[in-house]
Structure 1
Amino acid sequence: MANPTRSSVVQSSPRLETPRIDVTPEEVRTMMLYLRKARDRAIDIRDRSPGGSYLESVLDRTIDGLTLELSQLDYLLASEPAAQPLPAGRRMRPAI
């Protein structure tokens, strides 16, 4: 029999909205520099850790994650911005 003085509260999770942060390409390059240094430091520590240890496996995953993040940032810096839509008053040329 359930305790009548206790009630369960169901909370709906609020919609998580990611705030938009405008950054310049130079700021992205600075972030990439920090990530590269962190990856290089993790590689140095992994190289000195015992083979097959838990530390080595954690550092492997960390290094892989940092490498993936760096490649994504490289791609974003190299990609062209999305094409702007045509103004509302301008139409395509008539079809033949």
Structure 2
Amino acid sequence: MSDYDVFAPTTVLSQDVPAWLMREYLDSYSAWRDESADVQGAYERWAASQDADAATAFVAYRAALDREERAAIELCGWAERISGRKDPHAAM
């Protein structure tokens, strides 16, 4: 792993980033934040669940983790495009 941080503000601010690309990045960041909050809530529900509900709560928690992971992967893809590591017009 390199020392280069695609999420660093200077990466975004130091380049001429098209508005559409910045919107996609910010939308994906917002989606990731929402999914991260859902993970926290699902974890808390699982931790507080009684024996009979624990299995169902755990499945919901795992599903929330999967959604958060997919959102993180998408966010990373947009960040790579902004950083110039990936063609901004390439399909994801």
Q: TM-score, structure 1 length as denominator?
A: 0.50
CA, structure 1 residues 83+73, in 2 after alignment: closer, same or farther (shift >3 Å)? same
Identity %: 5
2:67 to 63, 66, 69: 69
Rg comparison, structure with higher value: 1
Counterpart residue identity of residue 33, structure 2 = L
State how far apart, in whole Å, the 2-side matches of 1:25 and 1:32 are.
10
Is the Cα–Cα contact under 8 Å of residues 39 and 64 in structure 2 kept in the other structure? yes
Unaligned runs of at least 5 residues, structure 1: 1-22, 85-96
Q: Which has the higher helix share?
A: 2
How many residues were matched structurally?
A: 61
Calculate the aligned-residue CA RMSD, in Å. 2.5
Q: TM-score, structure 2 length as denominator?
A: 0.52
What's the CA shift string for 1:42-82, capped at 9, x where partnerless?
2112111113x1x2222211111111121122222223357
